[in-house]
Structure 1
Amino acid sequence: MTRRAVIMGTGSALPARRVSNADLAERVETSDEWIVERTGIRFRHIAGEGETTATLATDAARAALAAAGIEARDIDLIVLATATPDQTFPASATRVQAALGIDDCVAFDVAAVCSGFLYALQVADSMIRAGAHNRALVIGAETFSRILDWEDRTTCVLFGDGAGAIVLEAQQSDDRGILATRLHADGRHNELLYVDGGPSTTGTVGKLRMKGREVFRHAVVNLAAVMEEVLAVAGHASHEVDWLVPHQANARILSATAKKLGLDPARVVVTVDEHANTSAASVPLALDAAVRDGRIKRGDLLVLEAMGGGFTWGAAVVRY
């Protein structure tokens, strides 16, 4: 038996405001047809007054704790993946900690953009396997709407806000929990997807910039490769996978990645039509949606994957 990090519960949170493609067409030169054809996106949620990365993360964490049947006071680790923190410092994870009423636990943020949740998952998994912690909240949360250029129709239609969370618990198991993770980064591609500001450069938050065609090409190749890699490490084959839970960036990327891996499209969890790209929140949001609607069941073999700015990318094999 091996000490593993097992997912005990999932949760998510979305801003109250739901924005359709038609709503966006009133603001920028675009149309529902143009957006759906190129991305598969139909709706996204946009944070309003009083809604921040930390408040969404807290709501998602509460939902995950309730699903797990675990009290907040029993959590001894919080890892929050985000590229849009409430403040430059302290970490938004500490704001979640305080909101949950946890007096003392390890709490910090991880910044790997859309791959952030996979990075946070590996960090928490490693700390649990090492025996340093027993119960962790792993959260992906973003308010990307606040770093968008709302005059750039090629990017502002792609993103939304939200948060997803899971509760991990240390258990002795041979084949349950996080079975394998693999992460990568290649900083040579900074100019393909980045934010043109920051405390150390411009002293401003900046706005998101992206060369979509180039990002698409890298995403399909990198994601298929890392999924094959992580499955090999876990000792499983693609035909054994019950569900692929991918980063929700673009419906065409999801389709191309599944095809390259030889996965049945019906086994791919798709929420990009309802949530758009929520960066680090997209994988846990999709996971929670599929758990709550009954598609993902205990014992299912899952592959989680994501790629984001940096480039960073990664995947995990999980026995739910």
Structure 2
Amino acid sequence: MSWGNRSVWLEFVFLAYPSKPEPRALAFLGASLVYTWVITGNVLIMVAIQTKACLHTPMHYFLGSLSGVEIGYTAAVVPHLPANALRAEKTITLLGCATQMGFFIGLGSTDCFLLAVMAYDRYVAIRHPLRYTLIVTRKLCVRMVGCAAGLALLLSLPLTTLIFTLPFCGHRREINHFLCDVPPVLRLACADTRVPQAALYAVGSLVLTVPFLLISASYVLIGSALLRIRSAAGRRRAVSTCSSHLAVVLLQYGCCSLVYLRPRSSTSEDEDRQIALIYTFVTPLLNPLIYTLRNKDVKGALKNAFISKAASDTT
């Protein structure tokens, strides 16, 4: 089946939703709360970074960019979930599925690339503190964020197009998942999937393996620099700025690698779906919490903003 007149009527049916009313209501409530928290937390971070002069630094610029990507990444998937939880028919059209997958892969890849960019920023700040502002300029920050988004777009569009040029037999196809992720959709193709599967591994390697190796190399150099810092306070400050980033890296890269880089023969649909819950819900949910609690500047800016708001409301 091609992108012709017949494909317009092709629908995918999601199976990973509860059928009974009580679990459906809980799924609706949970997805709604997660979405509200992710949007609110990341918007607050972006507003604080944009409005507070003390946060106009490269590190916070990258953090604000990551928050913007997290908002788009979550918006590509999560609003569809509470709607499906309440509907009797959990369906999505072929075009809707392709659109969701394209945004999901593109924004998820941008997220991974930005984590690598943030590792480079921390490397320069700790290894070359005196030349930090000369190396990591505003122009370089904009270019690196633009390159991360552009490379993610160049990888996501061909992969999504390749997958949705495959024939999907029948009028309705059942996806044992809650979103149009690559592995479950590939399982529905009525054709040889070796080429798109190889493309998935290639994209996964570029998005996950290469940036993770760069991040690992950065932290090896950062670790050697920390050993030369004589001040205990300076060492603690450097560790604090890196620990939150490292926690997000391990969670994001670890879960995504288990889904996209494992051989298909060693995976199951249930395992993939359970791991997908982590990088779809848990990681975007924890990111604002991790970065605000571990970043004194952002936490202080948010606290001052709330105090100012409360004072203006009482006057």
TM score, norm. by length of structure 2: 0.31
Please identify the structure whose Cα radius of gyration is greater: 2
- TM-score computed with the length of structure 1 as normaliser: 0.30
